[in-house]
Amino acid sequence: MPALPASRYDVDRDGLAALLDGEPRYRVDQVWRGLHERLAEPEELTDVPKALRSRLAAALPCALRHVTTSRTPAGDTEKWLWELHDGRRIESVLMRYPNRATVCVSTQAGCAMGCGFCATGQAGFDRNLSTGEIVEQVVRAGRAARAGGRRLSNVVFMGMGEPLANYDRVWAAVRRLHGDLGFSARHLTLSTVGIVPGIRRLAGEALPVNLAVSLHAADDGLRDELVPVNRRYPLADLADACRAYLAAKGRRLSFEWALIDGVNDREIDAERLAAYARPLRAHVNLIPLNPTPGWPTTGTPPAGVRAFRERLVALGVNTTVRQNRGTDIDAACGQLAAAGAVATPVAAPSATPVAAPAGPRR
């Protein structure tokens, strides 16, 4: 007997047909659509004979074992901690808006990129998630949104891990979400720390998903410190790859910028960012740095965030201050640590937090 898949969503259509050997083709389609379009559990496939349902339930396991749920007091943001078959732990976050909902999914258990300000980076890398483990996070969120009377409309690959460091499985998940769960490409957003070959590969794909690049610094000296992968893929190469993506896809590019008090929120930072973003017609999302246990530097206070935004707008850059959801339950950007996860710490890029480089202060 073949080994059980980690997740029922690791099985493709042919795999399902093999599993349902002897069943007519329409039955395979029925089960496939039930699992994907209706987000159904095998037991809920009431149009399928009961004996087959039980067989499917045994052969198609769930990858995500629910450990805990954390909810904001207002109930609009919910974070789930999942345990995988090998004991690894990951998190996903569901954000509810009046008529729709967005899920933020993890793509790796941990992350090897070593950004010091990020709780996932602080914990180190464990392993890549399988396609099914990624898709299943969306299915579980879709069911939860539906139970609350909302439609899951958007998926952002902004949870734990670097999506482009797990390219093949992530892209297979994107295709499944688009082709089988019915998400349009413009409702799918990949966030990357700036893996240049991955961005170039994305430019060659048929589906025009949204691309968000976590920039945080627009000069190589500071970015080398904040985002160590910049030493491998410096800003000029990153801009070239972004240009190629834009030319191929015509999708809006966004830059994420976590404002760190006294580090990347100075006048000079706004000027450098504007000079970098303008030719790419990129939209900038500002977010004050969220607190994490391993990074003592704090986020820019609200007045500084406003001033930075105004400066960027004056310099001709489209800028939004991102609503920070779930800070109180450690569910906001950069706070996903899957407490108790098995992970090997990576060497810190620098032993101390980055000091503000010399330069004019506001």
Q: Give the footprint of ligand SF4 on this chain (CB under 6 A).
A: 111, 113, 115, 118, 120-121, 161-162, 193, 214
258 binds, among ligand SAH, ligand SF4, none (CB under 5 to 8 A by kind): ligand SAH
CB nearest ligand SAH: which residue?
Answer: 334
Residue number, 20 or 217, with CB nearest to ligand SAH: 217
Q: Does residue 120 contact residue 157 with C-beta atoms inside 8 Å? A: no
Provide the 3-class DSSP secondary structure of residue 83. strand
Distance CA 121, CA 160 (A): 9
Cα three-residue angle 165-326-311, rounded to 5 degrees = 80
Question: Considering only CA atoms, which of 274, 270, 266 is closest in space to residue 360?
Answer: 266
Residue number, 169 or 178, with CB nearest to ligand SF4: 169
CB nearest ligand SF4: which residue?
Answer: 121
CB of 336 to ligand SF4, least distance (A): 8
Residues lying near ligand SAH in the complex (CB under 6 A) are found at 117-118, 158, 162, 191-193, 214, 256, 258, 287, 289-290, 292, 333-334
349 binds, among ligand SAH, ligand SF4, none (CB under 5 to 8 A by kind): none
CB of 118 to ligand SF4, least distance (A): 3
Residue number, 11 or 92, with CB nearest to ligand SF4: 92
Distance CA 295, CA 332 (A): 15
Examine the residue annotation and report whether 115 is marked as an active-site residue of this protein: no
Distance CA 249, CA 251 (A): 5
Pinpoint the alpha helices (H) of the chain.
13-19, 25-36, 50-59, 119-123, 131-147, 167-179, 196-203, 220-226, 235-249, 267-277, 302-314
326 binds, among ligand SAH, ligand SF4, none (CB under 5 to 8 A by kind): none
In the structure encoding, which two tokens stand for residue 118, read together?
Answer: 């990020």
Cα three-residue angle 125-131-132, rounded to 5 degrees = 110
CB of 292 to ligand SF4, least distance (A): 10
Beta-ladder partners of 81: 68, 91
Question: Considering only CA atoms, which of 267, 215, 269 is closest in space to residue 242?
Answer: 215
337 binds, among ligand SAH, ligand SF4, none (CB under 5 to 8 A by kind): none
Residue number, 50 or 232, with CB nearest to ligand SAH: 232
- Selecting among 83, 91, 225, 256, the annotated active-site residue is 91
Distance CA 229, CA 213 (A): 13
Examine the residue annotation and report whether 333 is marked as an active-site residue of this protein: yes
CB of 146 to ligand SF4, least distance (A): 28
- Selecting among 104, 115, 242, 333, the annotated active-site residue is 333
Query: Cα 120 vs. chain centroid, distance in angstroms?
Result: 12
CB of 284 to ligand SF4, least distance (A): 17
Residue number, 183 or 257, with CB nearest to ligand SAH: 257
Active-site residues: which are they? 91, 333
